Structure 1
Amino acid sequence: MSHAEDHEGTRRDFLYYATGGAAAVAGAAAVWPLVNQ
């Protein structure tokens, strides 16, 4: 595995984690008004 391929894998992992985190925050923000009645 070359250094460029390893870097691309790391970047892809970061994008997956960032997207998952943003989805979790958006989901919590959408559910919060229903919970906080």
Structure 2
Amino acid sequence: MSFLLSTIDQIDEVKFVDTLLIYRVFGFSDWIR
């Protein structure tokens, strides 16, 4: 059970990092324009 919870935590962290990355990419492209 704890293994499943830790896996869910890791997925949440990856999603959070992905969101930050997408936000930076879009912000950077807006800055170029």
Unaligned runs of 5+ in 2: none
Q: If each structure's helix is expressed as a fraction of its own residues, which one has the higher value? A: 2
Unaligned runs of 5+ in 1: none
Tell me the C-alpha RMSD between the 2 structures. Answer: 1.1
Poorly superposed stretches of 4+, deviation over 6 Å:
none
Given the two structures, how large is their TM-score scaled by the length of structure 1?
Answer: 0.75
| Number of aligned positions between the proteins | 33
- Which one has a bigger Cα radius of gyration? 1
